[in-house]
Structure 1
Amino acid sequence: MYFLGIDLGSSSIKLSVLDAAKGTTVAAVSVPDFEMDIVALKFDWAEQDPSAWWQYVQTGIKALGAKHNVDLKKIAGIGIAYQMHGLVLVDENMEPVRPSIIWCDSRAAQIGDAAYNALGHANSQSMILGSPGNFTASKIKWVKDNEPEVFAKAKYMMLPGDFIAAKLSGVAQTSTSGLSEASLWNFPNGRLAVEVLDAMELPAAIIPEIVPSFGIQATVDPAIAAQLGLSADVKITYRAGDQPNNALSLNVLKPGEIATTAGTSAVIYAVTEKDAYDATNRVNTFLHVNNTEAQKANGVLLCINGAGSLYQWIRRTLSVGSAELISYDKLNAEAAKAEAGSKGLRFYPFGNGVERIFNNKPASSGIQNLNFNIHQSPELVRAACEGIVFAMNYGFDVMKEIGASGTVVRAGKANLFLSPVFREIFANTTQTTVELYNTSGADGAARGAAYGFGYYASLTEAFDELQCLERIEPNAALSNQYGDIYQNWKEYITIENKQHEYNKTSLL
């Protein structure tokens, strides 16, 4: 029996097929062959076309059969992971009424702040474990206020993965964990946070059917199944945001376990049994995928928006004049040529929308101490790696303050964690042991689908075949060295009136 995992990112969509009996991946594809466009009509806006996502998902499923000889009829269940916090508004036919406002779009930050004030800070934090901020609920309100004619056409709000599920099944649904990432989950009462809807003057009818992360959620529409070559009774059995799903893919399910990733954005995600939150909203807490009434599980998340996006920028910049882009392997090799500390060069990777660790304030990237006679491409690349890790550690310190920490961090051997230099910086700056696994978000979604279908009796069984590829232990001497460099890097981030605002004037 096979299970399909779909991982909808902002750069690409990855699909993976799991042979559940063997616990191994049969085939995997990534579509399209190029990075998907992010449209920015105004400064701090970021949109994508949901219909394009759906077309690419169809292309990917067909490619699994045509190019990889997967018997698609054997797929019994589908799991969907997706870029978090995005908004898709659809009509009664499940067609989008406007482009999706995605995760790194900052236009609704002030709306979230206004709702936070209206709800009362203490009340908001105890109810949704933070502020509505720039998350999905605030984006719905933005559309209602600024595009009333568009909002009038909308039947339901959805997260990006909900939209793909709806196109497969024809059924409008969202999940409990999805509502938590939208700032629409009342944690103490375990229900939709109608209080947030009321504060934003949003109709409760716009929320579709609410389902748990695991279970038989819907059946794929027979016509769609036939078109894609799937069986007539294939089920959708799992959905989750990309970061809770990344934790799942790494078997990070118990309190004290930590996952990390450094793709387009950089994330540290720690599981806790507590309704933990930061008093100044620098990190966020969501329902973890395995949360139940009997066994609480939340995920505390730290996100730095500009991580892989910074590495992509450096790649493009250093490739100017070349016939093609230099490879990421070449970038990693360049970083290895520079010494720790990059000869004093400092990079601040805050150039991709408002940053939560600075209270949703706009934050710009910057380079400090650049010397044209000393610094070359190796120092530039290494300083970028150091800056990304230092920004992650800045947030990790906040997580420790609220009790969400540990000494072992798990990551997939992918993206920036393919770089030995990046791994060294991370282990010694955070002073944690890094465990690398050969897994992906799509693999995790496929295993989640198998568990949600009921093929595996437990999540433990679903991950019996997951193997650690490599462990990177912190080194005392290097930890001291990186600790000093990190403290120097932090000097250009000021904390005023306990608001943790980013002082952009300190950067070039």
Structure 2
Amino acid sequence: MSKDALELVAGVDIGLTGMKVVAFDLEGNIVASASAPSPQNLPKPYWIERDGHDYWDAFGGMCRELNAKIAELGGKVISIGISAHGDGAWLIDDQFNPTRPGILSLDSRAIDTAAKLMDEHKDDLMRVTGQGVVPASTGAVLKWIADNEPEAIEKASWFVAAKDFLRIWLTGEVGTDLTEASTAFCNVRTQDYDDEAFEIYGLDVLRDKAPQIDACTKVVGTVIDLASRHTGFPVGTPVVAGCHDVDAGAIGAGAVAPGHLAVMAGTWSINEVITDKPTVGDGWLARSFVEKGLWMNMSISPASSANLEWFINTLCAAEADAARREGRSPYAFVDEEVGQTKDSDQPAYFVPFLYGNPYGIDASAVFSGLRAWHTRGNILRAIYEGIAFTHKIHCDWLIDAIDVTEVRVVGGVSNSKIWPQYFADSLNKPILIPEVKEGGALGTAMLAAVGAGAFSDLTAAAAAMGSVSRQIDPTPAGVELMAARYEAFTQQVDLQKPWWAANK
């Protein structure tokens, strides 16, 4: 390798359905990338798991592809960072092998476990950990395993997060980071493990199985020989601790300082604001951000763009396939048809609860207000607006409690010429749309760049590697329209609650 080889940082972004690894230069430009499906197994209703060896195999093949491209370009990776979907749980033995398949954050087997924890221990959970429990929460999942598969706990030497499993196999070093550790067993104020948290969950047995907590930018090991052969990364390449993917996405979007609110419209409705003090409330999870003294307050639900994806794949497959064959986005026709609707049209409404909701109840999706003269464009507009309204529910909880200085929106919404305006008008705030691709991988690569010593801190890395943003301002007419429609939307939700309760 030439001494003048282009220095690159690799950001790995592991999603629930796909994974990617992207090599960036130190100005934030994409130099090479590779991707692969994220393997999943659904052995029973409500169960969504991942086999650790299949996971490692997919990761290795993807990384070899990336490194082949880098070799052709004469580049050199100086550091690696990994982010992944959080929550769920992985248990590994002293040989780093899983004692059972990893449980993913879309898994809901622990719904009764979570409900019982909240019924019996909500006040203590909020006081100590700064957050309640949902079915996919690490604490709820581990409690379910302890109650139903105690042998998996007994065989395990550590419990870790999805990205930590890869980090361990890359470096041979066990650990986690601040963002992942704070999902269950940390004190929200000290940002360290707290014995009382383990006691509240009834999981004292796990205290000695907790991995050490490292700063997200800390180099925690280097690529070992077997991992080098598997991934193509040279032996000795530094690996930083990395972070939860929602934190990486915020960083990639430019949200790195207190008061920055990142809105991510993906499979999940992710809405999170950084603070420099712990701020606890019922509507969000108060977790650690990437360094001590900073917190990421997350208000989330699986009620965002996946609803649009479902509609397109289920009811518009022919149009989507035709667009793909023509080399166009399969979603381009959505903007075209929504653009033909008028604000004066009698609206249709969509409650986007196909996969979950902000209220923690057993609810389903609903179309309402449909009339014979409505077109598909009106229905698609209802989906656009319904998803924007669900994000508003989360954002309002945060904005009412925390001083928000700017709002940044990323995800599927940013690809539309129409949809961002609905977000700005619904929130009645200017929103920034970063012109960035692969934001999660970029945020993780920034952590890797700091770890490699290329930048003094994350703020400097974001300034050098981040992208410019375009601003969407709310309009008086749009704010008035969205306020009226949001009120009707929330009325529809309230009317449905008794029906949902009676028809679980």
TM-score (norm 2): 0.89
Q: Which string of whole-angstrom CA distances, capped at 9 and with x for unpartnered residues, describes residues 22-44 of structure 1?
A: 44321223323xxx465444444
Amino acid at match of 2:235: A
1:381-436 deviations in whole A, cap 9, x for unaligned? 11111111101101212112322534x31134x42321122111101101121212
Aligned to 2:477: 477
- 8 Å Cα contact 2:269/2:391 also seen in 1: yes
Distance 1:11 1:402, change over 3 A: same
Question: Any idea what SS the aligned residue of 2:321 has?
Answer: coil
Aligned twin of 2:108? 106
Q: Which one of 414, 418, 438 corresponds to residue 435 of structure 2?
A: 438
Matched residue, 2:13: 7
Q: Is the 8 A contact 1:72 1:230 kept in 2?
A: no
| Residues 127-138 of structure 1 aligned to structure 2 (within 5 Å) | 127-134=128-135, 135-138=137-140
Matched, 1:493 2:493: yes
Distance 2:215 2:495 in 1: 39
Task: Kindly report which structure 2 residues correspond to 1:77-88, keeping only aligned pairs within 5 A, or say none.
Answer: 77-88=79-90
Cα contact 2:59–2:231 (8 A) shared by 1 = no
Cα distance change of structure 1 residues 323 and 272 upon mapping to structure 2, 3 Å threshold = closer
- Cα RMSD between the aligned structures? 2.6
Q: Does 2:312 match 1:315?
A: yes
- 1:298 corresponds in structure 2 to 295
1:337-486 correspondence to structure 2 within 5 Å: 337-340=340-343, 343-353=346-356, 355=357, 357-358=358-359, 360-371=360-371, 373-406=372-405, 408-412=406-410, 414-439=411-436, 440-465=439-464, 466-486=466-486
2:177–2:241 CA contact under 8 A, matched in 1: no
State the alpha-carbon separation in 1 of the partners of residues 502 and 300 from structure 2. Answer: 22
Q: Name the structure 2 match of 1:159.
A: 161
Say if 2:28 is the partner of 1:31.
no
- Distance (whole Å) between structure 1 residues aligned to residue 71 and residue 237 of structure 2: 19
- Counterparts in 2 of 1:153 and 1:427: CA distance versus 1, 3 Å: same
Change (3 A) 1:316 1:457: same
* Aligned mates of 2:48, 2:32 — CA distance in 1: 32
Q: Distance in 1 between matches of 2:407 and 2:427?
A: 10
Shift of 1:269: 1.1
- Residue 217 of structure 1: CA displacement? 1.1
CA distance in 2, matches of 1:411, 1:101: 29
> Shift of the alpha carbon at 1:275?
1.3
Whether the aligned pair in 1 keeps the contact of 2:80 and 2:240 (CA below 8 Å) is yes
Tell me how far apart the structure 1 counterparts of residues 498 and 269 of structure 2 sit (CA, whole Å): 18
Is the contact made by 1:72 and 1:231 (CA closer than 8 Å) also made in structure 2? no
- The corresponding residue for 1:198 is 199
Partner of 2:4: none
Cα distance, 1:68 vs. partner?
A: 5.7
Indicate conservation of the 8 Å contact 2:17/2:39, yes or no. yes
**Partner residue of 1:273 out of 272, 276, 281:** 276
Residues 452, 343 of structure 1: alpha-carbon distance in 2 compared, 3 angstrom cutoff: farther
String of CA shifts for 1:355-377, please: whole Å, max 9, x gaps. 4x31x322211111223x22332
| TM-score (ref. length: structure 1) | 0.88
For residue 346 of structure 2, give the secondary structure of its aligned residue in structure 1: helix
Distance change (3 Å), C-alpha of 1:321 and 1:243: closer
Q: 2:263 aligned to 260, 264, 281, which one?
A: 260
Report which stretch shifted further, 461-470 or 480-489: 461-470
State the partner residue of 1:504: 500
Cα gap change, 1:244/1:320 in structure 2, threshold over 3 Å: closer, same or farther?
closer
Between 129-138 and 109-118, the greater mean CA deviation after superposition: 109-118
Do the aligned partners of 1:169 and 1:219 also contact (CA within 8 Å) in 2?
yes
User: Per-residue deviation at 1:73?
Assistant: 7.1
- Secondary structure (helix, strand or coil) at the match of 2:339 reads helix
SS in 2 for 1:152: helix
Q: Verify the 8 A CA contact 2:32 2:69 in the aligned structure 1.
A: no
| Residue type of the alignment partner of 1:232 | V
Is residue 236 from structure 1 mapped to residue 234 from structure 2 by the alignment?
A: no
Deviation digits for residues 129-182 of structure 1 (CA, Å, limit 9, x no counterpart)? 12233310110111111122333332221111111111211222111221112x
| Alpha-carbon distance between aligned partners in 2 of 1:349 and 1:269, rounded to the nearest angstrom | 20
Distance 1:53 1:328, change over 3 A: farther
Matched letter for residue 24 of structure 2: L
Paired letter, 2:165: F
> Alpha carbons of 1:259 and 1:116: their partners in 2 closer, same or farther (altered >3 Å)?
same
Displacement of 1:255: 1.5
Does residue 89 of structure 2 align to residue 125 of structure 1?
no
1:468 and 1:461, CA in 2 relative to 1: closer, same or farther beyond 3 A? same
Q: Which deviations, in whole Å up to 9, do the C-alpha atoms of 1:423-464 show, x marking residues without a partner?
A: 111011011212122331111111111112222112222122
Match of 1:16 in 2: 22
Take 1:428 and 1:402, find their aligned partners in 2: how far apart are those partners? 20
Q: Distance in 1 between matches of 2:54 and 2:377?
A: 38
Find 1:328's aligned residue among 326, 331, 336: 331
Cα distance in 2 for residues equivalent to 1:103 and 1:340: 38
Q: 1:211 is matched with which residue?
A: 214
- TM superposition shift of 1:325: 7.0
The 1-side partners of 2:413 and 2:14 are apart by: 19
C-alpha separation in 2, matches of 1:60 and 1:205? 34
CA distance in 2, matches of 1:445, 1:369: 43
Q: Measure the CA separation in 2 of the matches of 1:74 and 1:368.
A: 55
Q: Give deviations 1:85-108, integer Å, cap 9, x for gaps.
A: 121222222222333221122222
- Unpaired runs of 5+ residues, structure 2, are 1-6, 324-329
* Equivalent position SS for 2:493: coil
Q: Which residue of 1 aligns with 2:326?
A: none
SS in 2 for 1:141: helix
| Greater CA drift, 478-487 or 306-315 | 306-315
CA deviation after TM superposition for structure 1 residue 60, in Å: 1.8
Q: Which residue of 1 aligns with 2:178?
A: 176
CA distance in 2, matches of 1:105, 1:137: 13
Letter in 2 for 1:470: R
Of stretches 23-32 and 55-64 in structure 1, the one that deviates more from structure 2 is 23-32
Q: What is the identity percentage for the equivalent residue pairs of Structure 1 and Structure 2?
A: 22
What stretches of structure 1 of length at least 5 have no aligned partner? none
Question: Deviation at 1:187?
Answer: 1.9
The SS at the match of 1:213 is coil
Q: 1:97 to 1:491 in 2, by over 3 A?
A: same
